[in-house]
Structures are given as structure tokens and as C-alpha cells.
Structure 1
Amino acid sequence: METLMHALPTVKPGDDGEAVETVQGLLQARSHPEVAIDGRFGPATAAAVKAVQAWGHVTADGIVGPATWPVLLRVQ
């Protein structure tokens, strides 16, 4: 599982594209309806990522990487 998480992209504020849309869809599924699925990692997405990170007990830095993907995917 760890290898798979490291294969996923790191997604951070300022990014855009399909990976951001994936993060935004997962955030909506995790009770963050304020996040639009627009493919742009802006302030609302960053705030929701930080909230999910705090909930999942990982560093709340707003960056979706190997520690945050399992929280979003609920496989931790």
C-alpha cells in the first residue's frame, strides 16, 4: 500500500488539472461541499485539505502527498 501512495502525485496550492479534480471530488465525498470540482487548487481546497489532514492526524500543511492520500482514500 505504501508503494501505491508514493506513486500518487503530490498536489498543492496553485496546482491545476485532473489530480486536483480528484482531490476535490474526494474532499466533497468527505463532507466538504464548499469545495468546487474545478481543477484549481485554491483557498477553499487548501482549507478543506488542512481540515482532513487534522482529522487524519497528519501534518496539516495543505499539501496532498503520501501521508494525506490514505486519509482522503480512507485506507489508513
Structure 2
Amino acid sequence: MEAIRTIQTVENGQVCLDLPEQFWGQEVEIIVLHAQPDMSEQASTRKSLRGCLKQYAKPELMSQESSAWLSAVSEPDESR
């Protein structure tokens, strides 16, 4: 199945498509979607998730964060 994708501006409620000959005489499906805004526009409207998990923080363990990986890998494996 071959597809053609194009973004056009609707003028006076109409869009004009010039299809290649391979589509002539064939049934085609036309799907109309609102075009997504540019990535630059999305970036400006994006909200931050920073701090959304602070309710799960354990302040008493924060002092151990810098050595947490070393502690985890140096402990003997108890699953054996």
C-alpha cells in the first residue's frame, strides 16, 4: 500500500490534491488530521515534572546517596 503525506493550509474550506497517475481510477481513503505544532512551540508549553515525587523522599537517607552504588555492589549476594 502506497501513501502520500502532505501538509496543506485549508483555504475557504477546501484542499486541492494532485495525485499521481497510479491513484487515478482507484478508491482512496482520505484522512484529515490537525497538524501538530512545531517542536519549538511544544517546548515552550511543556511543564516540568521536577519535584513531583518529593512526597516519597526520605531525607534521612539523602546523606548516603553519594555512596549508595558502592554499598549496593559491595554487599554479598543473598540470593545464592
Q: Into which bin does the TM-score normalised by the smaller protein fall? A: under 0.3
What is the TM-score normalised by the length of structure 1?
0.19
RCO higher in structure (CA 8 A, sep ≥6):
1
What is the TM-score normalised by the length of structure 2?
0.18
